[in-house]
């Protein structure tokens, strides 16, 4: 059973912890509310003074203090301090990984080789636009070249401008952009997008 002197000693001890490294480290004592008047009094006074707050759930302080205050040796508060610092020390040993700024914690997929594919121009729309005698078919695309099994390559942009006299479309590995060749001259994908609009699409014209 706690006496009034015991209660005052406990309260004074935690007052002194206010400026100690233990308190600054955020090790906070929680008093489990009970029916014992002394426990309630300690709980109320410590909380009212703002010295402690809930940090350890379902822990009965009365049991711990009975063990510590049952003896008057100078180590009694040291034992109590050890009791509450052990959980903190255990948590501090758990390894964590903090990603460096700008570096994702999980690596993304490796960069693809070659160029990203161009859009597929619908053969029916291609036939209507170009007037191909034998219609249009889909072009064959890889990451390094766009080709036609038969016919000629056709490219169209978002502003409905088209070139149906292409001879080849190949990938420039250094820039990962397409290089488009035709009898009228060669140009890069960026040149075509500037002149024809973005979202370039390709097909094959069969005459």
pLDDT given for residue 195 in this prediction: 93
pLDDT given for residue 147 in this prediction: 96
Do 204 and 130 form a contact (C-beta atoms < 8 A)? no
When computed from its CA atoms, the radius of gyration of the chain, rounded to whole angstroms, is 39
> Is 116 a residue whose pLDDT tops 90?
yes
> Is 27 a residue whose pLDDT tops 50?
no
Helix (H) or strand (E) holding 183: none
Q: Rounded CA gap, 109 and 104, in Å?
A: 12
Q: Rounded CA gap, 45 and 51, in Å?
A: 9
């Amino acid at each position: 059973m706690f006496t009034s002197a015991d209660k005052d000693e406990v309260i004074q001890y935690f007052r002194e912890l206010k400026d100690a490294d233990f308190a600054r480290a955020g090790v906070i004592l929680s008093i489990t509310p009970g029916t014992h008047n002394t426990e309630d009094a300690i709980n109320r006074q410590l909380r009212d003074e703002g010295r402690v707050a809930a940090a350890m759930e379902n822990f009965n302080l009365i049991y711990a203090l009975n063990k510590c205050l049952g003896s008057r040796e100078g180590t009694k508060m040291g034992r109590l301090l050890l009791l509450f610092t052990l959980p903190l020390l255990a948590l501090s040993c758990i390894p964590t990984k903090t990603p460096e700024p700008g570096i994702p914690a999980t690596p993304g997929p490796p960069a693809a080789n070659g160029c990203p594919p161009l859009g597929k121009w619908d053969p029916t729309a291609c036939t209507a636009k170009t007037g191909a005698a034998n219609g249009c078919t889909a072009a064959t695309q890889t990451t390094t070249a766009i080709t036609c099994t038969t016919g000629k390559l056709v490219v169209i942009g978002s502003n409905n401008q088209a070139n149906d006299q292409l001879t080849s479309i190949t990938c420039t590995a250094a820039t990962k952009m397409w290089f488009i060749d035709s009898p009228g001259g060669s140009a890069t994908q960026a040149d075509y997008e500037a002149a024809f609009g973005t979202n370039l699409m390709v097909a094959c014209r069969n005459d």
